[in-house]
């Protein structure tokens, strides 16, 4: 399938800032499940800085904007040809050891409910079965409800609220998987949708012996297929954030996001 992406992030400041610096992970890498046809990231009045592929295989690009400026727009446009690999990440060039993804973070610290889930998963002899079990349990435990949680909500909080969005599902899977001794990470990306969205998508990846990294999307109750574009990974949402920025100045920041992911009729 060929997917097109248009993703606009607009930062507004009530008082102009003297300048800003951003670190982007917004460019997909090609692997068996996806081939990048064209992809472009632009920053209004931005100066592109260094760009490199990091150890996890993600393209990082640095941007700076020389102020004063009160509005900055980050635009992503691209086309990717995708293929269903049953959620298995194959042919992705990366060097980071799966062991690095066993470490809990503030957002993925497991509470008793998550530890109980981990126990249940650990009882299964096959890691792949355990991973599927976690995905199912988390989907049931956290009802997809936008607007209830925010970017700083932890996995444990989302579990006790029993409501959340894709970020919360991913965090909960990751927290339980790590507690069960399975390396797990957060993946940011896009998913085909009929309507415009106000956020990009996210899911979890669990490392399965002999298979490698396998994606699990509890929000949609499936493994990523050809409707998905994988962008970047990290220990949690903060670590995998598509944009990390720093503005010089004391202006209050407003954020608007619009995402459109569509198919091209072939």
Specify the DSSP element, H or E, that contains 132: helix 127-141
Beta carbons within 10 angstroms of residue 200's beta carbon: 21
Beta carbons within 10 angstroms of residue 162's beta carbon: 13
Q: What is the pattern of x (binds other proteins, CB under 8 A) and - over residues 74-113?
A: ---------------------xxx-xx-xx----------
Q: What is the size of the binding site for other proteins (CB under 8 A)?
A: 32
Considering only residues 10, 35, 53, 79, which one is a binding residue for other proteins as defined by CB under 8 A?
Answer: 53
Considering only residues 14, 44, 45, 48, which one is a binding residue for other proteins as defined by CB under 8 A?
Answer: 48
CB 4 within 8 A of CB 79: yes
Span 226-255, contacts to other proteins by CB under 8 A: 235, 238, 244-246, 248
How many angstroms separate the CA atoms of 210 and 139, rounded?
A: 26
Query: Per CB under 8 A, does 147 bind other proteins?
Result: no
Query: Per CB under 8 A, does 263 bind other proteins?
Result: no
- Name the segment binding other proteins (CB under 8 A); options: 43-51, 112-120, 126-134, 258-266: 43-51
How many angstroms separate the CA atoms of 205 and 140, rounded?
A: 18
Q: Nearest CA to 163 among 186, 138, 184?
A: 138
CA angle (2 as vertex; 222, 184 as ends), nearest 5: 35
Distance of closest approach, residue 88 Cβ to other proteins, in angstroms = 22
- List contacts with other proteins (CB under 8 A): 19, 21-23, 47-56, 60-62, 64, 66, 95-97, 99-100, 102-103, 235, 238, 244-246, 248
């Amino acid at each position: 399938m060929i997917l097109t992406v248009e993703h606009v992030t607009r930062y507004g400041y009530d008082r102009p800032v003297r300048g800003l610096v951003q670190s982007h992970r917004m460019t997909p890498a090609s692997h068996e499940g996806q081939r990048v046809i064209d992809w472009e990231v632009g920053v209004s009045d931005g100066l592109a800085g260094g760009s490199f592929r990091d150890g996890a295989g993600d393209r990082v690009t640095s941007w700076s904007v020389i102020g004063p400026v009160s509005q900055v727009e980050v635009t992503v446009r691209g086309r990717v040809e995708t293929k269903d690999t049953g959620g298995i990440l194959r042919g992705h060039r990366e060097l980071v050891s799966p062991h690095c993804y066993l470490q809990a973070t503030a957002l993925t610290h497991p509470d008793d409910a998550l530890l109980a889930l981990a126990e249940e998963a650990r009882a299964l002899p096959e890691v792949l079965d355990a991973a599927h079990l976690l995905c199912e349990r988390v989907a049931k435990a956290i009802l997809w409800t936008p607007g209830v949680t925010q970017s700083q909500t932890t996995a444990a909080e989302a579990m006790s609220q029993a409501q959340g969005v894709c970020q919360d599902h991913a965090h909960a899977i990751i927290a339980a998987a790590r507690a069960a001794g399975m390396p797990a990470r957060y993946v940011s990306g896009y998913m085909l949708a009929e309507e415009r969205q106000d956020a990009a998508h996210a899911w979890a990846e669990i490392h399965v012996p002999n298979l490698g990294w396998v994606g699990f999307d509890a929000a949609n109750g499936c493994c990523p297929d050809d409707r998905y574009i994988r962008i970047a990974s990290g220990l949690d949402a903060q670590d995998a954030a598509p944009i990390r920025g720093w503005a010089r100045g004391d202006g209050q920041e407003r954020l608007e996001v619009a995402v459109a992911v569509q198919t091209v009729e072939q």
